[in-house]
A = this chain, B = another copy of it.
Amino acid sequence: MERSQIINLAAGPSSLPLEVLQEATAGLLNYEGTGIGLTELSHRSQEFQNLTNSLEKSIRDILNVPATHTILFTQGGGCGQFSAVVFNLLARHHLLYPELKPEERVMDYVVTGSWSKKAAEEARKLGGGLVNIVTDGREHSPSGKAFDRIPPHMSWEFSHAPAFIYYCDNETVDGVQFSHTPNSQTAFPFHLLPQSTGLAPIPLVADFSSSFLSRPIPNIEQYGLIYAGAQKNVGPSGLTILIVRKDLLVDTDAAAKLGAAPTPTTYSYKVLADAGSLYNTPPMFSMYVSYLVVKHFASQGGLTMLEERNREKQALVYGAVDEGVEKGLFVGKVEKESRSWMNVTFTVVDAEAEKRFIAKATEKGLRGVKGHR
């Protein structure tokens, strides 16, 4: 089939604008007149240094990232960050409070779906502190078992002084997403956060992997760390983008001497920052395409415009789903106010009909339908 005949709905790596792909393919053969393809350049060349700076600046501009935060590029994806967050932020906690026992170092996890659940499990496995589940979305669902909503704020229980607070903005598997509507019951409750442990602010960590650059991030200055795998909205898989408040760039080796678990070197945010994201060879092609995509978004009016367009799409798609639910064809999975913008989840009542639908859809050029629960 030709590209023009296809509509790609995949929730994993997803669609890139055609003009971006065309520019990327040109750069793959001959990057900006150097006569060398982008991935064949040295990552220590001036050209690639410039590209890294341009990507950094484009993300800073489009998201209004304040000067208090640095932007880093690395590998390993969201799952890599599940581990890196624990190493770096427990190291910071050791440097701030060297005298505490492991059971006095608490990590607060807000669990609203499969990905935040997995992140909390990784923290529990790596140890060095206790995991406190601030809220578990399943306990608030009718069945007691499904992630189907942002739990009501009044049920959340933060620790008094956690090493960090963690949540996931959009849960792809479950289709549950925080809203960005101020004062809404489904927005992230910034006003409830414990603010400081006395010596330093408590870092708020957010996984934005599947919603990064789909709309502005309100209160961005209040985050300690935002991270995102590029592959959902920005570029080809392999690139992880970190937005880190500078007080989180701590000497992990010094912390290890105080009893923190030694941080694997490529996980250390400070090592990455000190090397300008070039501690080891970065995923150059993913960075290049990501830069082209961000530039493309900016030329289209930036994230406010993108938010509007996504809102229109959302209304259309959920309109159709609601109609299907009314007619008894679908079962909606997620409470309306907590529904994801990024990925729409519902179950087809008749399993055989679902199979026929997917086969027909593929034949007609509708790809990536399966796995949309």
The interface of chain A, by Cβ under 8 A from chain B, is 1-6, 8, 10-16, 18, 21-22, 24-25, 28-30, 33-37, 39-45, 75-80, 82-84, 87, 122, 125-127, 229, 231, 235-239, 253, 256, 261-262, 264-267, 279-286, 289, 365, 367-368, 371
- Also in contact, A281 and B29, with CB within 8 A (given A36-B6, A266-B83): no
Residues of B within 8 A of A286 (CB): 238, 283, 285
Q: How many Å lie between the Cα of A11 and that of B40 in the bound state?
A: 10
Is B8 a contact partner of A237 (Cβ separation < 8 A)?
A: no
Is B236 a contact partner of A12 (Cβ separation < 8 A)?
A: no
A-B CB contact pairs (8 Å), 23 listed: A4-B35, A8-B40, A12-B281, A13-B39, A13-B281, A21-B37, A22-B29, A36-B367, A39-B231, A42-B368, A42-B371, A75-B238, A76-B80, A77-B266, A77-B280, A78-B280, A122-B265, A125-B265, A127-B262, A236-B283, A238-B286, A264-B264, A285-B286
How many copies altogether?
2
Q: How many Å lie between the Cα of A102 and that of B10 in the bound state?
A: 47
A135 to chain B, nearest CB (A): 24
Is B77 a contact partner of A237 (Cβ separation < 8 A)?
A: no
Is A35 a contact partner of B75 (Cβ separation < 8 A)?
A: no
Is B1 a contact partner of A35 (Cβ separation < 8 A)?
A: yes
Closest residue of chain B to A365 (Cβ to Cβ) is B35
Residues of B within 8 A of A40 (CB): 8, 10, 13-16
Among the listed B4, B125, B285, which residue makes an inter-chain contact with A238, where contact means beta carbons less than 8 Å apart? B285
- Also in contact, A10 and B41, with CB within 8 A (given A2-B30, A29-B25, A266-B79): yes
Closest 5 CB pairs of A and B: A1-B35, A238-B283, A83-B264, A6-B35, A25-B25
Closest residue of chain B to A124 (Cβ to Cβ) is B262
Residues of B within 8 A of A33 (CB): 1
Q: How many Å lie between the Cα of A41 and that of B87 in the bound state?
A: 33
Is A371 a contact partner of B44 (Cβ separation < 8 A)?
A: yes
- Also in contact, A284 and B236, with CB within 8 A (given A21-B28, A43-B13, A76-B76): yes
Q: How many Å lie between the Cα of A29 and that of B29 in the bound state?
A: 14
Is A8 a contact partner of B25 (Cβ separation < 8 A)?
A: no
Q: How many Å lie between the Cα of A266 and that of B264 in the bound state?
A: 12
Among the listed B25, B42, B253, which residue makes an inter-chain contact with A12, where contact means beta carbons less than 8 Å apart? B42
